[in-house]
Structure 1
Amino acid sequence: MSSFRIFDIAGSALSAQSVRLNTVASNLANADAVSGDENTVYRARLPVFQAAAEPGQDDAAGVRVLGVVESQAAPEKRYEPGHPLADAQGYVYAPNVNVVEEMANMISAARSYQSSVDVMNTAKDLALATLNLGR
């Protein structure tokens, strides 16, 4: 087992949390966007992760982002007949984004990202200390 594998694992975690943060940012940016058609309204997006294992090894070696999927929850239907985007029945459709849930998700992703940065810094410091033992 390579002693530098920790950098690959922490790097995959950084990449995954970056995708998660970008997804949350996209959801929050579109939380107030409305549409006159429920098929075209913004839907919350969710990243899908999978434990990544190297071929021939049983243990996980990081995380892989499989993709970003749209939520299947129904959009919020609001009766606003005076709205310029209202449909023929007077309804507008708002995204299915829960702002409080997204903020909690953002805090969690930011803390996970920072933890991965700390892991990389600690691994780097330990590697440097090991190299300095030979002096």
Structure 2
Amino acid sequence: MDPLAATLKISASGLQAQSERLRVVSENLANARSTGEAAGDDPYKRKTITFESEFSRAHQANLVSVKGIGEDKAAFTVEYDPGHPAADVDGYVKMPNVNTLIELADMRETNRSYEANLKVMTQAREMVMRNIDLLRQ
């Protein structure tokens, strides 16, 4: 297989994985304050994403893919809000186990990884175009 085509495939798998990661981070941020509807109901559980490397025989390269999306096992925090519909008899409401600062850091890292994969793809495409230009001469 052509090394440039393999490079494009590797970058494309990275872009796809980081896109999925950004979706998970966005969902966590959107639900950072989503509580249960009634007393005793659990709030939103933070989602996590795991990746795996898989060897592609067609491209003779390791590609990244999403292994799975799970739920964070961290404990919920509680806030005192006796007027909330999900408050228990003592007035405490279970809050999601989402830490906004961690999610923002994950988002920044995801963005940088996505940009790096995009840059590799752009450079590989430019090399392919240069090869085509050389063949025309």
User: TM-score, normalised to structure 2's length?
Assistant: 0.88
Which residue type is aligned with residue 53 of structure 2?
A
Native 8 Å contact 1:31 1:99 kept in 2: yes
2:56 maps to 54
Residue-by-residue CA offset, 1:53-77 (whole Å, 9 max, x unaligned): 12599x8522010111000001112
Residue 127 (str. 1) matches residue 133 (str. 2): no
1:97 maps to 98
Q: How does 1:1-135 map to 2 (within 5 A)?
A: 1-3=1-3, 4-35=5-36, 36-37=39-40, 40-55=42-57, 61-135=62-136
Alpha carbons of structure 1 residues 56 and 116: separation in structure 2 relative to 1, 3 Å: closer
Once residues 70 and 13 of structure 1 are traced to their aligned partners in structure 2, the CA distance between those partners, rounded to angstroms, is: 22
Once residues 50 and 15 of structure 2 are traced to their aligned partners in structure 1, the CA distance between those partners, rounded to angstroms, is: 15
Once residues 123 and 45 of structure 2 are traced to their aligned partners in structure 1, the CA distance between those partners, rounded to angstroms, is: 39
Alpha carbons of structure 1 residues 134 and 60: separation in structure 2 relative to 1, 3 Å: closer
User: TM-score, normalised to structure 1's length?
Assistant: 0.89
User: What is the count of residue pairs matched by the alignment?
Assistant: 133
Once residues 119 and 57 of structure 2 are traced to their aligned partners in structure 1, the CA distance between those partners, rounded to angstroms, is: 27
SS at match of 2:106: helix
Flag as ranges the 4+ runs of structure 1 deviating above 4 A.
Answer: none
Native 8 Å contact 1:14 1:116 kept in 2: yes
**RMSD of Structure 2 on Structure 1 (CA):** 1.9
Q: Which runs of 5+ in 2 are unaligned?
A: none
Q: CA deviation at 1:109?
A: 0.3
Once residues 72 and 60 of structure 1 are traced to their aligned partners in structure 2, the CA distance between those partners, rounded to angstroms, is: 34
Once residues 49 and 72 of structure 2 are traced to their aligned partners in structure 1, the CA distance between those partners, rounded to angstroms, is: 10
Q: Which runs of 5+ in 1 are unaligned?
A: none
